Amino acid sequence: MNCHIFCTWEVLMKFRKYTSVLLSLLFAAGMAQTALADDSVTLTLGCSQSQLPSSGIFEQLCEEYEEQTGIHIDIQVTPDDQWTDVLRTKLSVGEAPDIMWADVDGLSIVDRINPVENCVSLADAEWVDRLEESVRNDLSVDGTIYGISFKGPKFWLYYYNKDIFAQYNLTPPTNYEEFRAICQTLYDNDITPIYEAVQEGWHHGLMWYEVAGVYQKEVPDLYEKLNTNQIKVTDVKSMLTVLEQMQDFAQSGFYGPDYMSNSITNDFGAMADGSVAMTFESNGWEQQLLDSYPEMDGKIGYFILPWGDNDTLGITPTQNGLFINKNSDHIDEAKAFFDYLASPEKLQEYLDGETSIYSVCWPEIDSKYPEALKEYMNQFDTSVVLQSGVKFVGGQCFEIEKLMASMFLDQLTPEECLQQIADIMDEQGELQQDPYWVG
Amino acid sequence: MKRSKIYPGYFILPALLLIALLYLLPALLGTAYSFTDWNRYSNELHFVGWKNYIKVFSGGEKYIGYIKNTVFFTVLSAVLKLGLGLALAILFTSSRIRLCNLHRTIAFAPQVFSVLIIGITFKAMLHPSTGFINALLRSCGLSFLAHDWLGSIDTAFGSIIAVDVWRGAGYAMVIFIAGIQNIPLIYYESASIDGAGFWAKLLHITIPSLIPTLTVNLVLSITYGLRVFDIVYVLTNGGPGNATDVINTATFMNFSKGNYAMGTTLSSILACATVIIALFIVRFMGKKEDNQ
Amino acid sequence: MKRRIQTILQNLIAWIFSAIIVIPIIIIALNSFKNVKESNSMSFHLPSIWEFTNYLEVIKRGNLLVGFRNSFSYALLSTLLLLVVTLPCAFVLQRRGAKRLYRILYYVLIIGIALPLNNIALMKVMVGLHLMNTRVGIYLLYAAIGLPLSVFIAHGFMSGIPRELDEAAVIDGCSAGNLFLKVILPLLKPVASTLFILNFLNTWNDFTMAIYFLNGSDKMPVTLSVYNFFGQFQKSWNLVCADIMLTALPVLIVYLFAQKYIIQGLTSGAVKG
């Protein structure tokens, strides 16, 4: 075994001259390969793992486009955790791909991708007026639109196992007290009431963000006031109440014994085998569950989040968007690609091809919400969720969520947690030199 | 023969150039930036003096907590790695062990895997319900020992350290083995003749002779511990809450938030501390060796 | 009798330690053959059906052929570059170590062992040197990262080569270049092998540098391919494990063949320091 290394080394040394020639050839070959001129155009598209629809429909659309036009779309996938940072870094050094798929939801667009500096204006595209209005606004800065998006709005619900509820004579709660009572009953009968996954970093924070309708009811024009630094989150009593409720659940064991270490992707199995009665997931989850566990058909119900006696449906109108790099050599081709994706046939194909979404953000394409869900949704007013409407929350390093985790484990009181959230927001306001913070 | 002729200075130029450009220059740049308000949101830079450093050392419990965690991790993991490494080295140089080479090979093997892989694997193994560790404990009737290893404040840091020691003990062991093999057998033989037992030989022959290798291991472990990032990030990302956040996870968080100046400040503080501590160890151990 | 019990006990302890090390590796191997649902728990159980197709799927979806080519070229070329730069440097530093300047330069070079890398500042430098997102840039970067420890180990090794050899060669009329190439270099086989293997391993396993300094899916190393199989919303542990097996196998094989040299080299550096 030892001979191998020796022999290779000796051979290399003996034929040093030839070795160095060989190496330089390899080197040159490696270089040449990358520099090899391609006659056809290639558009580079940078995205994160979870932005791509899981069914592969996006890759399919890209392939069809290539068949049609000869233009190849090179999809470069970056790990979820790093994508936002990597994109910013690449933009700052001028090395970003032609097309960038960025996570932007309302106010974060400037922070995530700074379109005025980095992106091409799409104001004169044919499809701009066909795009849903709130999405159009979210993808614009000062009235100019820079991005395109496809997914319909996202909202979160508690999904529950109907059989378990029936077994203990439970009905979906309409307020917090009922919610708590249901969980207590389940807990007393050795069933984990709710599946939580704090280790993911982002999941548990959504409970607080998504019931923003409650906060907006307490303080009219709440978002306006928060965004102009007229009030702080510590001034909103219901925000504290919801935090207290979340902590109460954690310390009463309602999230189960493993809630700190669970993976959210395991909730399918946990719901299917009946060890857990409820899970907190986004629209389309039920469809995905049925894909893996068809025996659960008809056994899953849902209700809106009851935290703080919430009675609105919180929605995130825009979750991400595709933008064109200002420094790209193929701006026209990228624009043409967007036109292609925005054509009614392709939009329909997108919706049909992806099971986990119910609608696209293009009013001309009918949604495929199940009737029952549609009826249920129509009962409620909608409200834009906190992270889409308020500045300086929803940061990708999940600082706020970490505070909540500390609160679950009794390292912080809810008051301290809320105060530190306010501090984080102030810190960002000063860092970003927001005129309302630095005057 | 003229020294400079047969040992020409230009032999060292490429190495110096590489280090200067890709190591020292960024470090100096970074330190320079730490005296500004460099951030993602503006292209202008303003000089702010010591403001960032003051914030770190007086910024309430947050930053001090990160420093405490880093020190705790460094000391504990170094002690355990070196202790275990030494024990394994002594064990696997004993003539009574069969297949010594196989054991040594296995002990060093974790170094061959990337931290990402190790993180993924151990995260799954340490899961409270489905993980291998708890399953094993339960099957042995020791279910009272089963914890939420990475998810509870009491055990999170210990678990990270355990994984890190699992990975690093083999490296320390290998270096100790070399040191042990360099100790002339005559010392042990004459000690045996004088009636010395195992522990006496250990304390009076083995350990004193190992001071050079101990120094190397100590420097490597401590500098690794102070700069640790990968393993903490992959296993807990500083959680639960902020319980396992160390200086480098805080640096990363600051870069994420766009507060580049604070990020480079923490980096610079760490660089300074690491270099000073490393030099200190080398000198201290050097003196000990002189006293032998 | 007492000795016998002690021997058995010692051997038992040795096996326990080895088992602790090996168990996680076995778990990965087992789970790489399960289907998605079974592999979710990453348990020690044998798969109910052995899904060998996992490996094929991983090779295709993870773009592993391209990834292997990239990882191999980065590891090989940056390590060769490292050797070319390190060995002469360590030689001169050791031989002229009596002079203060050279001692200081030695410390400057090995300070990198302790010094953390400053990613953002480094990126600015790479852009300034037009090395960002280039293969050459990555070769230089990996070589620079491995340099401090390599210089340290090589320096230690050099002190074991007697100066009498140099003197003899010079008397015979050797120039500096010839002295190094013809006399010294052949003696450096062990440490060169060690450095080669250590740096090859480290470069192969790296993923942070690739994320920040490389663009383009055609330049991705094989270590990042694992991310194709798990993200925020979807985790296919069986494919992740199969990917880990495929990407770790080459380095494992290299290690098994050459572990003697790693140990030799590490120790020569450590003992002579």
The DSSP string of B174-205 is HHHHHHHHTS-HHHHHHHHHTT--HHHHIIII
For A219-272, the pLDDT digits (tens) are 999 999 999 999 999 999 999 999 999 999 999 999 999 999 998 888 998 999
Instruction: Name which of A261, A400, A416, A434 to mutate to probe chain B: the one with the most chain B Cβ atoms within 10 A of its Cβ.
Output: A261
A261 closest CB neighbour out of B40, B127, B241: B127
Higher-pLDDT residue of A238 and B188 is A238
Residue A371 corresponds to which tokens in the numbers above?
């009737």
Q: What is the rounded distance in angstroms from the CA atom of residue C147 to the CA atom of residue C153?
A: 10
**A5 at the C interface (CB within 8 A)?**
yes
Q: Give the DSSP letter of residue A228.
A: T
Best residue in C7, C8, C18 for a mutation probing chain B (most B CBs within 10 Å): C18
φ and ψ at residue C174, rounded to 5 degrees? -85, 140
B148 interfaces chain A, CB cutoff of 8 Å = yes
Chain A within 8 Å of B53 (Cβ-Cβ)? no
pLDDT at A75 over 80: yes
Contact A106, A138 (CB under 8 A): yes
Chain B hits for C6, Cβ within 8 Å: 96
Q: Using CB atoms, which residue from B12, B23, B116 is nearest to C115?
A: B23
**What's the average model confidence in pLDDT over A293-299?**
92
| Burial classification of residue B76, based on how many CB atoms lie within 10 Å of its CB (0-12 exposed, 13-18 middle, 19 or more buried) | middle
Per-residue confidence at B43, pLDDT binned at 50, 70, 90?
confident
The predicted pLDDT at position A333 comes to: 93
Name residues whose C-beta falls within 8 Å of residue B148's C-beta, 6 or more positions apart in sequence: A257, A258, A260, A261, B128, B155
Residue B283 lies in a domain: yes
User: Which residues fall within 8 angstroms of residue A193, CB to CB, at 6 or more apart?
Assistant: A182, A183, A186, A187, A254, A255, A256, A276, A277, A278
- Whether chain B has a CB inside 8 Å of the CB on A87: the answer is no
CB distance from A88 to chain B under 8 Å?
A: yes
Are C89 and B11 an interchain contact pair (Cβ–Cβ within 8 Å)?
yes
User: Residues of C185-218 as b/e, b for ≥16 C-beta within 10 angstroms?
Assistant: beebebbbbbbbbbbbbbbbbbbbbbbbbbbebb
Q: Do A93 and C228 touch (CB under 8 A)?
A: no
Contacts of C134 (CB under 8 A, 6+ apart): none
B228 to chain A, minimum CA–CA distance in Å?
18
Which residues of A are less than 8 Å from B257 in CB distance? 395, 397, 399, 428, 431
Check residue A308 and give its pLDDT.
93
Residue B173 lies in a domain: yes
Q: Top-level CATH class of A154-316+371-438? A: alpha beta
Return the number of CB contacts < 8 Å for A and B.
80
Tokens of A69: 């036009």
The average pLDDT across A153-163 equals: 94
Cβ-nearest to A406 among B126, B149, B241: B241
Q: Quote the pLDDT of residue C265.
A: 64
Rounded to an integer, the average pLDDT of C56-60 is: 84
| Domain harbouring B126, CATH code | 1.10.3720.10
Q: Which of A199-213, B246-260, C210-224 has the lowest mean pLDDT?
A: C210-224
More confident residue, A7 or A143: A143
- For A344: left if phi > 0, alpha if psi spans -120 to 50, otherwise beta; the answer is alpha
* C neighbours by CB contacts (3+ pairs under 8 Å): A, B
> Per-residue pLDDT tens for A167-196?
999 999 999 999 999 999 999 999 999 999
**CA atoms of A229 and A215, how far apart (whole Å):** 16
C212-266 pLDDT tens trace: 777 666 788 888 777 777 765 667 888 888 888 888 888 888 777 776 666 666 6
Closest-CA residue in chain B for C201?
Answer: B112
Q: Which domains does chain C have, with CATH numbers?
A: 67-221+251-272 (1.10.3720.10)
Residue B31 has pLDDT above 60, yes or no: yes
Mutate to test the interface with C, among B116, B176, B214 (most CBs of C within 10 A): B116
Give residue C14's pLDDT.
87
Asked whether the beta carbons of B222 and B277 are under 8 A apart, the reply is: yes
3-state DSSP assignment of residue A119: strand
Torsion angle, CA of C70/C74/C80/C81, rounded to 10 degrees? 140
Helices (H) and strands (E) in chain A, counts: 22, 13
Contact A2 C260 (CB under 8 A): yes
Query: For residue B29, which residues of chain C lie inside 8 Å, CB to CB?
Result: 118, 121, 124-125
Q: For B242, which residue in chain A has the nearest alpha carbon? A: A402
**A90 to chain B, closest Cα gap in Å:** 12
Structure token digits, residue C133: 């997102």
Enumerate residues 6+ apart whose C-beta is below 8 A from A190.
none
Residue A71 contacts B where some CB pair is shorter than 8 Å: no
Q: Using CB atoms, list chains with 3+ pairs below 8 Å to chain B.
A: A, C
Judge whether B152 is closer than 8 Å to chain A, CB to CB.
yes
Chain C residues with CB-CB distance to A30 below 8 A: 73, 77, 135
Instruction: Provide the pLDDT for residue A16.
Output: 52
Q: Do A13 and C216 touch (CB under 8 A)?
A: no
Chain C contacts of A27, Cβ < 8 Å?
77
The answer to whether position B3 is within a domain reads: no
Q: What is the per-residue pLDDT for A30?
A: 46
Give me the torsion for CA of B180, B186, B191, B194, rounded to 10°: 170
Q: Measure CA of the first residue to CA of the last residue in chain B; give whole Å.
A: 37
pLDDT given at position B223: 87
What is the maximal distance between C-alpha atoms in chain A?
Answer: 85
Structural domain range at position B155 = 67-290
Residue A37 confidence class, pLDDT cut points 50, 70, 90: very low
Residues A160, A172: contact at Cβ < 8 Å? yes
Q: Which of C77, C126, C232 has its CB closest to that of A27?
A: C77
For residues B235 and B163, is the Cβ–Cβ distance under 8 A?
yes
**Cross-chain CB nearest to B259 (options A92, A396, A431):** A431
Name the strand (E) or helix (H) holding A75: strand A72-78
- Domain count of chain B? 1
How does residue C189 score in pLDDT terms, banded at 50, 70 and 90? confident
**Chain B residues 27-56 with CB within 8 Å of chain C:** 27, 29-30, 33
User: How far apart are alpha carbons B116 and C240 in whole angstroms?
Assistant: 11
Burial of residue A78 (number of CB atoms within 10 Å: 0-12, 13-18, 19+): buried
The answer to whether A264 touches C231, Cβ cutoff 8 Å, is no
Lowest mean pLDDT among A44-48, A293-297, C206-210, C245-249: C206-210
pLDDT tens readout for residues A373-401: 999 999 999 999 998 889 888 887 889 99
> Residues of A with CB below 8 A from B258's CB?
88, 111, 431-432
Domain-located, residue B54 = no
Predicted confidence (pLDDT) at residue A29 exceeds the cutoff of 60: no
Residue type, B266: L
**Superfamily name and number for A42-151+317-353:** Periplasmic binding protein-like II (3.40.190.10)
Residues whose CB is less than 8 angstroms from the CB of residue A106 and which lie 6 or more positions away in sequence, other chains included:
A138, A316, A317, A318, A384, A387, A388, A389
Look at B239 and A199 and tell me if their CB atoms are within 8 Å. yes
- Examine the pLDDT at A34 and tell me if it is beyond 70: no
On whether any CB of chain B is under 8 Å from the CB of A372, the answer is no
Q: Which of A99-113, A147-161, C241-255 has the highest mean pLDDT?
A: A147-161
Return residue ranges of chain A for CATH 3.40.190.10: 42-151+317-353, 154-316+371-438
**A407, A411, A433 member nearest B153 (Cβ):** A411
Tokens of A367: 């949604």
Q: Where are the alpha helices (DSSP H) in A252-343?
A: 267-272, 285-292, 331-341
| Burial label, B146 (beta-carbon count in 10 A; 0-12, 13-18, 19+) | middle
Percentage of the residues of chain C whose pLDDT score is greater than 90 = 11
Quick check: is B71 in a domain?
yes
Distance from CA of A262 to the nearest CA of B (A): 8
- pLDDT above 50: residue B69: yes
Chain C residues close to B216, C-beta within 8 Å: 269-270, 273
| Residue B213 within any structural domain of the chain | yes
pLDDT > 60? residue A19: no
Q: Kindly state the average pLDDT of the residues A118-132.
A: 93
CA C45 to chain centre: 32
Query: Residue B240, preceding bond cis, omega within 30 degrees?
Result: yes
Pairing status of strand A72-78 against strand A42-48: parallel
Report CB contact under 8 Å: B174, C11. no
CB contact under 8 Å between B128 and A257, yes or no, is: yes
Nearest CA of chain C to the CA of A315: how many Å?
19
The answer to the question of residue B44 being in a domain is no
For residue B181, is it within any domain? yes
Strand partners, A280: A158
Nearest CA in chain B to C238: B121
